[in-house]
Amino acid sequence: KNEVEQSPQNLTAQEGEFITINCSYSVGISALHWLQQHPGGGIVSLFMLSSGKKKHGRLIATINIQEKHSSLHITASHPRDSAVYICAAYNNNDMRFGAGTRLTVKP
């Protein structure tokens, strides 16, 4: 079993839909990192959080430390949101990555 599990693996949505991507981890962490990998391969950091919730534009990330679970939400999804979203559990300069969720938003 992977230390960081993401679901779903693939997600197709219509433009405007509310998106949720889930991440569960089995390791102890000091923070959880959400990354966005564009079709060309480049990766951008979206959020790093250790408790509660963070919001940036249409993106919202939440984490429940007790349940070892985090979610990434996208409101009013748009085709430009199409990408692979990766969560990573961080502890003591060690980061464990999920396999990613491939999101496709259709116009």
Partner 1 sequence: SQTIHQWPATLVQPVGSPLSLECTVEGTSNPNLYWYRQAAGRGLQLLFYSVGIGQISSEVPQNLSASRPQDRQFILSSKKLLLSDSGFYLCAWSVPVPSAYSPLHFGNGTRLTVT
Q: Interface residues with partner 1 (CB under 8 A)?
A: 2, 4, 30-31, 33, 35, 40-45, 48, 50, 86, 88, 90-91, 93, 95, 97-100
Give the nearer residue to partner 1 in terms of CB position, either 40 or 57: 40
Give the residue among 49, 45, 46, 20 at the shortest CA–CA distance from 32. 49
Give the nearer residue to partner 1 in terms of CB position, either 50 or 75: 50
In whole angstroms, the minimum distance from the beta carbon of 36 to partner 1 comes to 10
In whole angstroms, the minimum distance from the beta carbon of 39 to partner 1 comes to 12
Give the nearer residue to partner 1 in terms of CB position, either 14 or 51: 51
In whole angstroms, the minimum distance from the beta carbon of 81 to partner 1 comes to 19
Specify burial of residue 58 (Cβ count, 10 A radius: 0-12, 13-18, 19+): middle
Give the nearer residue to partner 1 in terms of CB position, either 20 or 91: 91
**What's the alpha-carbon Rg for the chain, to the nearest Å?**
13
